[in-house]
Structure 1
């Protein structure tokens, strides 16, 4: 059993959202009739939304089942010691046709205490953005609890938020406790801790087809805020060809950018699984015994005990993720 793991592709878990659109269907060939497809969960062990394998001899098994059976062979010894049978990451693609709500997420301590969950630190890589599309990250001025609450009460919260116009390739690191929102017209890849805990603080006063507003969580969100965090959320990174270029490295994940146009041999020395998200083009990932292709909008997980493999393409861009 120890030698039977292979790179894993999963069935996307599709999520309709009030703010979703059709880019995931049009650009990534997701199978849905929805006009409001907001999210495609690529790698997940969130209860009720657990990824299932679609390739190889493990086809049909869930990521949770595989983790419990293979343990450190799947995620690495240090990760298994740290996380046990809890897979640490949730990987998504997101299409915002409308603005998402203004929100933030609790850190590990608060999420554990309140929700028996990991916290949610995350990052975004913009894959496509309509003209003048924005991301909201942080405040546009020094901020404290009382000033924030005054603007919240007076419904002038957007006045104190930081809006950034974005384009393809822009990357943001969103620590737990930082206010943020994805703006209308942005298609992005999201890498985050395994958590589905979101504190929604403002939703643009919108209502659904039946006139109902979505729930807000201001009573509990205020304790999760980390005011006056440094404005270090914009990520600058190298783009050297056919190499792993460091984007984000934090206690919860590391993400590299790979712009590849040939064949490169990879050796995994991280004692961790590797996840590849294809954000442009198409690439073949091959081991001694397997070969899989991922195209733009697809994801593959390479188990920790697969040490040597090749990436081959005439042109692709990848996000390489590990813990």
Structure 2
């Protein structure tokens, strides 16, 4: 059996989007001929978009093949008992040259019933933001289904949405049922459940090259809203150097912030895989048998079978993710 105890890299899956831009190519060095690269799917087990290993002795294998063969050695005993041969997370970088549609995601129960899918709890870490760029998260006032539907009908939805100006490092936790959108000029990292289910409720009157508007999902969306959510979506976190700082912890994933300026030794006590997204700088990840370099815009998966490893850098910022 081939060795899985090394840091795995995958070929990015790049997505052309009507709202996409050039930053994933120019800032994160993603190689693509697509005109408007909106998303780079870094690690994916979404049907039809399964990641393929790009390094080491498992190069060319799909994430699905790895799960079939290595099971708990890849994702951990506890995770394998819950998810089986389905990788639980989808990791992306996103570049919005234009505003994304106003949207929300269903919870696990609705998504399973309607789409045979997980729900889509997610979080955002802003990697770069143009001056005066925004994220839309939640409403700017108390909301009821009746009030929301009236604004939707009157085409005044933007009057009741909450616009937040953002800068590098700003972090948001987007629970299912919360309305949201990435604004023009924002490039971010997104960590989410493995799901591609989005309910689009407003798209700025935008049309494609053929003059067609994109489909809206208002009939489905109204049941997916949670109008009573508290305003707890802005994530406050410490930035102490050379340690894992808590950012987001929920039933679906935990994400920590690491600013590394000297070598740190890590021990996996979580019975889980670990994912590292490099959001700034570059770092070296070393296991007992091998090492892998990671730079801004790259992502690496450490299988659960790896017990100890070292991360070395003089100045790197990483997001550390596990389940």
**Class of the TM-score when normalised by the shorter of the 2 chains:** over 0.9
Distance 2:84 2:170 in 1: 34
* Equivalences for residues 1-323 of structure 1 within 5 A: 1=1, 4-323=4-323
Using structure 1 for the length normalisation, give the TM-score.
0.99
What secondary structure sits across from 1:28 in the alignment? coil
Using structure 2 for the length normalisation, give the TM-score.
0.99
User: Contact (CA 8 Å) 1:2, 1:73: kept in 2 or not?
Assistant: no
User: Contact (CA 8 Å) 1:14, 1:41: kept in 2 or not?
Assistant: yes
User: Contact (CA 8 Å) 1:240, 1:259: kept in 2 or not?
Assistant: yes
What secondary structure sits across from 1:57 in the alignment? helix
Distance 1:188 1:293 in 2: 21
Distance 2:260 2:101 in 1: 35
Note closer, same or farther for the CA distance 1:271–1:207 as it changes in structure 2 (3 Å cut). Answer: same
User: Contact (CA 8 Å) 2:3, 2:57: kept in 1 or not?
Assistant: no
Distance 2:258 2:213 in 1: 42
Per the TM alignment, residue 31 of structure 1 is displaced from its structure 2 partner at its CA by: 1.0
Per the TM alignment, residue 3 of structure 1 is displaced from its structure 2 partner at its CA by: 5.2
What secondary structure sits across from 2:58 in the alignment? coil
Question: When the two structures are aligned, how many residues end up with a matched partner?
Answer: 323
What secondary structure sits across from 1:81 in the alignment? helix
Structure 1 residue runs of 5 or longer lacking an equivalent are: none
Distance 1:173 1:232 in 2: 8
User: Contact (CA 8 Å) 1:13, 1:40: kept in 2 or not?
Assistant: yes
Per the TM alignment, residue 2 of structure 1 is displaced from its structure 2 partner at its CA by: 8.1
Note closer, same or farther for the CA distance 1:20–1:4 as it changes in structure 2 (3 Å cut). Answer: closer
Runs of 4+ in structure 1 displaced over 4 angstroms? none
Query: Residue by residue, what CA displacement relative to the aligned partner does 1:16-60 show, whole Å, maximum 9, x if unpaired?
Result: 000000000001111112331000000001011000001100000
RMSD: 0.8
